[in-house]
Amino acid sequence: MKILKLIAYKLAKIYWKIFRPQTFGVKLLLINDGKVLLVEHSYTKGYHLPGGGVKSGEMFEQALKREILEELGLDINDLQLFGVYQNTKQGKIDTVTAFISTTPVDLNKAKLSTEINRADFFSLDILPTNISPGSRKRIQEYLSNNFPIAKEW
């Protein structure tokens, strides 16, 4: 199953580079006790902020709540707008809306989907070395109290 997801992801990246579709995504900075939640996906390397795609007709906040419930089995309710970004690094034109929450969660009760290999809280000042550049930038913006903002992912 994991190899199929890797292949599908690589094929999607080729499609994006050729057709440059416009997509919409959502991300979450979940902050608990000076730590941030990061996930490791089954289809790409490194740690990332959790989130996913927005379905047609779906509100951004609704999409994020759905993604977090589907991928982590967690209910997140107190979402605040963090920023709006544009990511063109994979070939597609992806508009990403990021939210922040301090909803207390117990990862022992999380139910990870097959898309997520691992979910962990990391100290805001000691992040994993293999964190994605965009996720690292969002955390730095949070630490500098520099939000809400609109810029490149």
* Cα 36 to Cα 125, 139, 141, distances in angstroms: 10, 8, 13
DSSP per position, 108-128: GG----TTEEEEEEEETTS--
Task: Give the per-residue pLDDT at 98.
Answer: 98
Query: Does 113 have pLDDT greater than 70?
Result: yes
CB 39 within 8 A of CB 71: yes
Task: Give the per-residue pLDDT at 3.
Answer: 79
Task: Give the per-residue pLDDT at 146.
Answer: 82
CATH number of the domain to which 39 belongs: 3.90.79.10
Domain hosting residue 126, numbered range? 2-152
Question: What mean pLDDT do residues 43-55 have?
Answer: 96
Element (H, E) at 47: strand 47-48
Closest CA to 73 of 33, 103, 34, 110: 110
Task: Give the per-residue pLDDT at 1.
Answer: 66
Task: Give the per-residue pLDDT at 54.
Answer: 97
For the record, the structure tokens of 7 come out as 């292949």
Give SS3 for 107: helix
Number of domains in the chain: 1
Give SS3 for 79: coil
Question: What mean pLDDT do residues 62-75 have?
Answer: 97
